[in-house]
Structure 1
């Protein structure tokens, strides 16, 4: 073979591998990333070598062809506990062969059928609901150990210590699943923690999600269980070939008198360091006063976890110490985050420090009203043993601010650190631009995802909710894949969705895991069953997720087709609709402008269309033909019922047009043009301010772009007035808000009882920023082909995006220069890209490598004519200088009246500015006229 030193396999991964390359399946699919200096490099073949750890010969398999992503395991299936090393080398179409990659350890972290023997154990005689508990057992190691592995799960949250040392740095294990049908276990190598002679296993255990009271107000109740319990087994393999299993069950002992005295996801944690039994998880501790454990009955056999664990991912210092008007001490960490505080304090035994958490301040005090019933309060009682450091372990909070009461002595800000926690996903996408506020918006979206991807994709992390709302992740899934590698995370959650759906007879519940009463079908929420798998396939090239989820996808489509009936329209039933349309009243967020029947029927088409495409892809020919026929029937019914011959929709809203365009319901070119023009008119009429809710927001800019109105989409994106994506940024937001106006313009909290300041759904716009503003999109599953199509929108000098695709780093971007617009792209090895330059020239197809083009772009000329009270409203709003002159003058007169004028004016053609200013006092009209005359004079002078 010819050596090709410029071609390297830089990363090899095994599917769903967790720590130390532990895999949850006997046949993990393999992927590898190639870097090369060879232009347009294509893989011709690959060799994959497997070497058993210890004794055994290497096995090498040659794989012809270009596949390098999620390649089927080419060896005999792994047996439970197997440890091997895998390495890869590739040969390109140029004939050059790379060196072998670094060995990838692959450890079979699952148990064989029948090997799980641990029983759920808990406190036999609890004294309070959801009582935290300590559990322990000793055992003896009497010969050399080759390997020791811990398999553990819980109804609740837990951490295991062996001989006084925590086994890992994960938090809130094992997370939250559909407990009735699926438990997951962690697999941890604990060989280095064992010692010769007596050893001890100790478990800290609290209720977590298992014992939480879910529901709203008086309806809140425990869904799963009253008390936490844990199951674990330690498998010790000795060098003499024998093995021993220490499994939870009879003979273990427990105590409810530990330092964690109360715990709840919504409540917070109470910890009394005086009650910590010294050495309780070490050998030699006297546990005779502890009670025998309660041993519970059968539970689902846990599966090896296939998604990342949760960890501490960042630490933030105190930015400011605030003394509130009432004299309270509040710490500002400068960032809304999810996690808890770590304290270092010195004080007398019995001193109790109380920590209350909130996202915002309200009239200078901690703003706790949006928390509703969640106490979000931790307390730490000192043992009086000098300097003491403590942080919670069994709860989490969403907060930027924390009120500290009872601190002993003077508070040193350096003694308090905010610890951010999240499922530990690899960051995969970055966006950068010249617009400071837009850059902050993107950062807010990242923080919102980081905090709400904590074992479950939640709606919000702070109030008495924190649930896996299906509608939120349905709209956000594309953006999620832009920002982090969340394939394993979402694939795992989809397993729970399918289980909950099966139990509900095909209905996808509002939240997964399901804890909110009787399941009711709702469009856009239940469609997570079809949309999320399709997104994972598109972004990661994961065909298997479609295979696994196909029964769920089909069951959802059959459910909604049954509701649509012979008319093929879903009408008259409960719907969330275009949830949180900014026009909806604060207490009635579902009262959107878009008819909920239109939203529902559009989603009947969308999911049926996705299912038909999926069936065709998987080779399910009969299903593909059937659902394609039905999708066409739904399309025809929708167009007949809701769209006129002139392309106007009976629900004349931005969301309605965006759905018809982006879901592919309207395919006739003339109709799409008419709809796009009307959509652009509606956006202008709203003053380029947002007028969409959950359904329309992710797609409105795409619908504008695909119908030739990217300039309108750019104006909409960069708007700073309320409601808009950037309005929260102007108000100091560091995450995305639930409502467009979660904080009102006067700085007060929205009066709606449902108000969160960390809700990722409206952050779905980041996907358009990546794909369209910077210009990098997947054109084939897994980015095997990319689409490079940047749009230099007005208001930006540059924008660029990088993304770690399954094939390696891809990038795209543009920058304005004196010579024109410079477009750049990086195409990963083994892939191609179709490039659409912003000058409108014919598309180019390029191979791997770095590319650059300079093009002349005729930007839209800025308005420059005379403006006056006789100017049309559309011309005023399209002229930033004229609009600023009008609104600035009105604000100087009366801020509230200016806001009302802005919010009630429809900026349309055929209506003059003078026509809508009759309710404005004449003296102010005169001042507006003079301000516009000033704009005109400045232009003539310039």
Structure 2
């Protein structure tokens, strides 16, 4: 047995940690089965002196164990040692360190500095300081932040490999600072430069493309802490002794792009100006930073019909392009960005709207490598102007996003499904850039709460999003008010709006997802008042019937069951949606109160939950069980949120089946219904129907976009029309992760990986087959270790391979077996023959057409098993019309269609059973 991956607050050996009671986690790795931790011992020391020793603690807990020693000192290095004993008589050891930061913004001694450039100046200010070092250096740390986005260079070398620091927070309430190691950079004479771009703070942003959402001057704050080998130290810090100038970055805007003029020289240094910001609002970096996580080579050079020079990188992504070039002095190279080419093959930047996304580089005559500093783009294609000889090897797409650990993999026998999974992951990466944005390319890129909420479950399978969402949820709470509730976007630059269902519910739902995925109780503690505040806000808006039926609602946003030109909110009653979420969030709040042992709130919100459910049934379900909105989304919410009384569930389920059949087994759901549609069907014994909808390849479906060449998830089911035209609503992102929420169903239902206890301490493995997929191989790296679920069903043989990490247990349901199996950690493999899914007598078709039409069994078989036969074009055509429609047609047409089916069946040995 080995002990591995010691994490302190989800990070290995972090520096600049400002958590006053950090938590420790580790993993056990063993080849033996049924391994459990029996005891652990944690020792935290500083400078060789033990500060906290848990002693041998008989516990299986190995996740997020809180430090309970003496108060931590700022700017200090601590050593951590963890010993573990398992139930097999083995002992293991793992060690690590963490280094505290300033432990609060008020511990900064530096001063905020800004400039007095004229308003029309677009160049980024560069704050400069020269200083000397005459002693031998032991350690150097730099603590810095800005109002804007910044980059620090010392002696021409950039500190760190991150981008867009300090990140986007609710600047009026919270501002992050970063810690950098700079031990080997300082020389005897040194020059530090802090370049600050407008970024989210001052830059052009929002639907109106206006600047100065938080302020009209960028500013910088920094301290260089130098520790010498003789035990002395000094601090170089921002103050009025610094100077300011401008450099080669002549303009930079997130929406508009960046212009770099390498010929520009400015020897003039001007005086800085002091400014202020509330120091108590400054906190240490809370989530992983944004980094270049991958570099993609150029795939193809295209000369379009309009004679544009275009490079295809083969993948819609978020980031920018690195350009290597040797141009003439003063030569200007222009790089434009687009997600797609039009159907004629021309460059099509229209999905960007007002975000022009153009980078320009002015050459100095030398061999150069250009890449932007303070902008990013959503693109697959670039158009190049100003360069005659284009060599593909000189263009590289740099993929940018918050550097979250990848935790999930999902591979199936269906290549279209595998591309869908890739598209989901790429959309998550492209939109998880410091905040969970809606899209990364157009003049929006906002932290929409609704998009984040519906996708959170899928996100937590693909990547470790604990820190990412923790940071963002702190901003959600800081932006929340008693008067307006939770904003629609966070950070909120849209102004005061009343909270809206499904969007503002992110304040309740996402903390619960984090708790269940990582076993993180602290996120519930920190967000509890925010969660409670949102439910109380809804309650304050309710009428005498106890329901929320006033104000603006998004409804089932972009649903297909209503003409979008008239209304984007779909056909489902908007207040049915609102009250479904009211009940759902109230129930989550009740469960959170139970976890936190809040007795009064448990009682209060248990009663409120029952009250809302009762009112929901009285208002939206008739006495005979008819739902007011018998849309797919209406039925799905009533079923999946467990709102309908038991006596009504069957009728609502039947209404859902009927609605789906009327749409020829296609979905018609929008942002609200889509995440839960397949879950609701699977949970209510209609898993085959869920599979049928999931694998549809024509519009509307998940695989329609895949067949159209998508490499990310689209905002709309028909962002690109079957004829190659584009949706012209002006709201047509091709990188929008909301409909990627199907990923959670793929992991939970198809691969069968579920948690029975928070953090996957106890695991449920229950893979479920669908027609059209013969194998799945999936993994999820939980906080305890990697979970694997692999299965295949071929040639009437089922094979299942399972891996359960040490220090956990699992319940396994093998496909087509009813009895669960309790297992401990280890690797398990099973192989057995499949049970026939077609438990019917062999039925030959050696009868006349008239006999078949009069034979109820034939109609029943056709209805029930036609999905098994999909793939043959004649059968698919007849099936999609549906039996009821065929029988309703003229007799001659009916006969012809049924003869098609019979002929196809006869080619397969004349037996339905054989097929």
Report what 2:644 is aligned to. 666
Deviations, residues 263-302 of structure 1 (Å, cap 9, x unaligned): 111100011111156xxxxxxxxx6x21011221233442
- Measured in 1, the distance between the counterparts of 2:180 and 2:13 equals 8
Query: How many residues are aligned here?
Result: 897
- Measured in 2, the distance between the counterparts of 1:876 and 1:779 equals 36
1:59-70 paired onto structure 2 within 5 Å = 60-62=53-55, 63-70=57-64
- Measured in 2, the distance between the counterparts of 1:296 and 1:117 equals 14
How far is the alpha carbon of 1:683 from its aligned partner?
2.3
Aligned with residue 830 of structure 2, among 811, 830, 853? 853
Report what 1:322 is aligned to. 302
Q: 2:319 matched to 1:365?
A: no
How far is the alpha carbon of 1:147 from its aligned partner?
1.6
How far is the alpha carbon of 1:31 from its aligned partner?
0.2
Q: 2:693 matched to 1:693?
A: no
Describe the SS at the equivalent of 2:759. Answer: helix
Report what 1:223 is aligned to. 213
Aligned with residue 98 of structure 1, among 91, 95, 101? 91
- Measured in 1, the distance between the counterparts of 2:191 and 2:844 equals 82
Change (3 A) 1:856 1:654: farther
Report what 1:73 is aligned to. 67
- Measured in 2, the distance between the counterparts of 1:558 and 1:591 equals 25
Describe the SS at the equivalent of 2:396. Answer: strand
1:461-480 paired onto structure 2 within 5 Å = 461-480=440-459
Report what 1:378 is aligned to. 359
Report what 1:247 is aligned to. 237
How far is the alpha carbon of 1:111 from its aligned partner?
3.5
Aligned with residue 199 of structure 2, among 191, 203, 208? 208
The gaps in structure 1 that reach 5 residues or longer are 1-6, 278-286, 891-900
Aligned with residue 258 of structure 2, among 234, 252, 269? 269
How far is the alpha carbon of 1:865 from its aligned partner?
7.8
How far is the alpha carbon of 1:517 from its aligned partner?
2.5
Q: 2:904 matched to 1:935?
A: yes
- Measured in 2, the distance between the counterparts of 1:130 and 1:620 equals 54
How far is the alpha carbon of 1:848 from its aligned partner?
1.1
Report what 1:482 is aligned to. 461
2:400 and 2:433 in contact (8 A); partners too: yes
Change (3 A) 1:889 1:535: closer
- Measured in 2, the distance between the counterparts of 1:52 and 1:482 equals 37
How far is the alpha carbon of 1:393 from its aligned partner?
1.0
How far is the alpha carbon of 1:874 from its aligned partner?
11
Report what 2:373 is aligned to. 393
How far is the alpha carbon of 1:79 from its aligned partner?
0.9
- Measured in 1, the distance between the counterparts of 2:674 and 2:877 equals 31
Change (3 A) 1:874 1:544: farther
Report what 1:580 is aligned to. 558
Report what 1:133 is aligned to. 125
Change (3 A) 1:37 1:75: farther
Describe the SS at the equivalent of 1:746. Answer: coil
Describe the SS at the equivalent of 2:74. Answer: coil
Report what 1:38 is aligned to. 32
Q: 2:474 matched to 1:495?
A: yes
- Measured in 1, the distance between the counterparts of 2:861 and 2:317 equals 41
Describe the SS at the equivalent of 1:340. Answer: strand
Aligned with residue 678 of structure 1, among 655, 659, 681? 655
1:17 and 1:24 in contact (8 A); partners too: no
1:330-341 paired onto structure 2 within 5 Å = 330-341=310-321
Larger displacement relative to structure 2 (135-144 or 753-762): 135-144
1:183 and 1:300 in contact (8 A); partners too: no
1:882 and 1:935 in contact (8 A); partners too: no
1:150 and 1:233 in contact (8 A); partners too: yes
1:708-857 paired onto structure 2 within 5 Å = 708-818=685-795, 820-857=797-834
2:870 and 2:876 in contact (8 A); partners too: no
Change (3 A) 1:598 1:213: same
Q: 2:190 matched to 1:199?
A: yes
Deviations, residues 480-528 of structure 1 (Å, cap 9, x unaligned): 11000110010000000000003x6351111000011222211000000
Q: 2:49 matched to 1:56?
A: yes
- Measured in 1, the distance between the counterparts of 2:200 and 2:105 equals 28
- Measured in 1, the distance between the counterparts of 2:374 and 2:80 equals 38
Q: 2:269 matched to 1:290?
A: yes
Aligned with residue 656 of structure 1, among 634, 646, 660? 634
Report what 1:598 is aligned to. 576
Larger displacement relative to structure 2 (302-311 or 565-574): 565-574
- Measured in 1, the distance between the counterparts of 2:813 and 2:800 equals 10
Change (3 A) 1:753 1:874: farther
Change (3 A) 1:560 1:116: same
Larger displacement relative to structure 2 (844-853 or 160-169): 844-853
Report what 2:146 is aligned to. 154
How far is the alpha carbon of 1:199 from its aligned partner?
1.5
Q: Tell me the TM-score normalized by structure 2.
A: 0.93
How far is the alpha carbon of 1:887 from its aligned partner?
8.9
Deviations, residues 824-881 of structure 1 (Å, cap 9, x unaligned): 2211111111112222422222111112233444354399887999697995696255
- Measured in 1, the distance between the counterparts of 2:486 and 2:227 equals 44
- Measured in 2, the distance between the counterparts of 1:801 and 1:936 equals 35
Change (3 A) 1:239 1:689: same
Deviations, residues 686-730 of structure 1 (Å, cap 9, x unaligned): 222121111111111111111111111111111111010111000
Report what 1:534 is aligned to. 512
Q: Tell me the TM-score normalized by structure 1.
A: 0.91
- Measured in 2, the distance between the counterparts of 1:155 and 1:19 equals 28
1:16 and 1:306 in contact (8 A); partners too: no
